[in-house]
Each structure stands twice: as C-alpha cells, then as structure tokens.
Structure 1
Amino acid sequence: MIPVKKQLIPAVALSFILLGCSGKNTPAETTTSSIATTAQTTSTTTSTTPETTVQSTEATSATEATTQAQSASGMADLSLGYDIIVNKKHALPSTYAPGEDPTAGQQVRALIQRMQELGYPISDTYSGYRSYEYQTELYNDYVSREGQTAADTYSARPGYSEHQTGLAFDILDTHGNLLDGPEYSDAIHWLHTHAHEYGFIVRFQPGKEAITGYQAEAWHLRYVGDKATAIYQSGLSLEEYFGVEGGGYE
C-alpha cells in the first residue's frame, strides 16, 4: 500500500463535499456522493444475485465479442457498455465525460447501506466518477510526491482511469480513508464476497498485479452488471475473463 494515496483521498473527498455545499455542482468534476441524498432509490434497488448470472454459453459469446471489439487499438471500445475495459493498454478520449452511471451509482449506495446495517464502519461518501481533467491533477500530484514509477503502480495516467467511465467506485471508511488495513479485514471480506450480488467485482485482486497493471486495492469496485457473479466465481481478472490484453503501458 502506498501511504500517500491513502492520505490524499480524505482531502480529495472533502474538497468535493465542500463544492457540493457551496452549490457549485459541475458534473464533470463530481467524484463523491452520499447515501443520504439518494435514500429513496436504495429502497427499490434489486441486487444482482447468483440467480441472474448469465449461462456459460452467453458468457462465452460476450467474452468473444469483447475480445474482438477491444483489440490492440490502444483505445477502449465505448460501445461495449458494462463490458468496457479501461487499463494501461486501452485508454479513453479526453473528451469522454459520461458522469456517474445511474444504475452503478444506485447499486453502490445499496451496497454501502447494507454494510452499514451490518455494522461495518463505512462512509456514506464514496469516490466515484472522475473527469479527465481531475485525473490529470490527481496523477500529477502523486508523481510530484512519489515519482512516476511509484505513481504508476496505484494511480492511472489521464485517460487510463476506470473512474472516468462512471463505473468505478472507491469505498471509504467513516474517517474518509480508503477501506484498507487489518482493522477492516471483516469489512473487506464481506465486500469481496458479496459485491457481486450488487453487480460489482473487486477490480484489482492480490496476485493479479502483472495482469491488471496495478497493486491490489481492496476498496476499488467496478460495476459490470449481470456478469458480476460469473466473473467473481471464475476468480479471473477482467482482462483474463474477456481475453483482453493487460499489463503495463506501452
């Protein structure tokens, strides 16, 4: 775990909470949200459960389609919906600014609410969508603190961040820190074993660093919809499941 990232997130989260309180709500810059402001949506949320998992033949077809669409073009295929893969080999245009995906946002709030009901110290606030411009500022700050080699192990370069898709979310504790460390082992275990029920996978798993291009991140969720349970049960990274190239930058 790179300490600087864990320390910087609270300040980032706080800055956007303050922006929201001041009435300056710019969608392209909003990266945090709160359950309190969307409680009416969580009560009607239907989780993605094992019963809705796609059959193996459907998963195979989807895998083949994704593999063909996301070839070695160097760019992520924006037509793939929840199957899109953004990594160090597949980037997003600087102009791509979809904001938070409504379904993914609703599901992450339902997941957080459930964790809170179970007594886990999880914040209402999470880090979600990030614009290309904001990711540029964040990445450059990490580089200035740790150097590019270290920064590349835990922070995406501009255009290479899943957060820009509006489908990625970082779960925070009640102090505003990333959910990480032995004191949160029970919460992390629950998250890793139940996230798929809400349509999420834990994107960066231990032992997959060479494939995903990033260190393990217990807190980083990626919304994939009804394929979540199949991916979770496979034990594969998103790159492995869809047969898409991963690893480091070219």
Structure 2
Amino acid sequence: MMTALSVRGLTHAYAGTPVLRAVDLDVQPGQVVAVVGPSGAGKTTLFRCLTRLVRADAGVLEVFGADLQQLEGSALRDARRELGLVFQSYNLVRRLSALQNVLVGRLADVPAWRVVLRRFPVAEQDLAARCLDQVGLLAFAHTRADRLSGGQQQRVAIARVLASRARVVLADEPVASLDPASASAVLAALRSLATDHGKAVVCSLHQVDLVAGFADRVVGLRDGRVVLDLPADRFDAATARDLYSRTPERTSA
C-alpha cells in the first residue's frame, strides 16, 4: 500500500527564526493522526506547509508519491486535488445552502459556470446529498450556512471534503471553538472519513483529552520538532504533561 502522506526533513523559518525543524511524518490510508503541542510549537505552520499554502524552505512533502515541494502551477493544482482541507473558521459561503456549499467541493469535476449559476446536474446534487447524510445533516440540506450552528457548519465542511474525493484530509484545529457535544460530532465525522472511506486524516487538536477516542496515532510537536510519535492509547496524562511542561526526549512507538 502506498503511503498517503510522507514528510521528510520539512524545515521552515520566518524572518530567520526557525519554526519547523526537520519534521518527519508518515500517514497511511485509513489512518487518523492527531498533531498536538503547546502554543508556538509549529502546528499551524506545519499545516500551512502541508497544504502548500506556504512552501517550506526545505524537505520533502509527498502525497501519494508526488512531491508537492517540487511542483508549481497546474501540476501543483492537480496534485492538491488529493488534499481536502478543514479549517477552524469553516470557510463556507454563508449565503449558500449546506447542499450548495458541498457542491462547491466538486469544483475540480464540474464547469465553473455551474457554480456561478448554481446549476448542478442531478447526479452531482445526489452525491452532495449523500455526503450530507453521512455527516448527519441531510435535513439541513437547504438551510443557509449562516443559519447553522458552528458544529453543523464544520460538518458541512467535512461533507464538502467527502464530495471532493480527496484522499488526504488536513484539519487544522477543527473543533477549537466548539462546545463538547459539537466537537464530538465533528470528530466522529472526521473519523468516519478514515474508517468508512479509507482517507488519511491529519488533525491538529488543542484539547488533548479528545485524542484517545479519536486518533490512531499522536504526533507531538514542541519548538518546531517532532518529540513524540505514539499510538493514541499510549498518550496518557503523564505524557501530555511532559509534552506541555518541558522539552521531552523523542518518544516513538
């Protein structure tokens, strides 16, 4: 089985200050990896580099064998179709319905004019409806995004990723602003992308208590370095305290 996401020696600095220091990471299809660490550890920069919103200064970033670090223009756009992005801020078009927002995820497969005129083939609408159903929001298909709760909007964003057929999902702090019940529903929807659809999911989390019931593996960052990489069931309270209180030695499974 080809590795979904393979990162080697990813390094980046802002104004000469190192933010990522030779980060290594492998994620397999169907696997959920949680990225945790204290504020300033480099989590946000890592996700910006993984999505190629920022080009890292050095390193390898392979998505199903294609090194995004070496690509530009149309080749980069084609490779990035393998990436589904879920942001803390949802990134929905507020005036559009939940169904229409999911259909936006089909931009790579339908003509742009259909998006502008909001005219999609029945098959595309059926696909979007199925994706909403899988995240428990079919009843809200025709509700405007700005009338949904934060948790519901985030699940629409996940349905949009599902509709896009991306094989690697990158979720940057997707539940940071949600209440516990909404956070649980969002993480369950993300988890289903891996267990039910075989997607590789990488998710940064601020709430470390959510890790055990969600992820297969935990990667801990501190000062821009990977300092632990463990099965989620080995990420206990003592390990979390060590990560957040001081710089531990690298811990691996």
Q: TM exceeds 0.5? A: no
For the pair shown, which has the larger CA radius of gyration, 1 or 2? Answer: 2
- Between structures 1 and 2, the one with greater helix share: 1
In the superposition, the TM-score normalised over structure 1's length comes to 0.28
- Between structures 1 and 2, the one with greater strand share: 2
In the superposition, the TM-score normalised over structure 2's length comes to 0.28
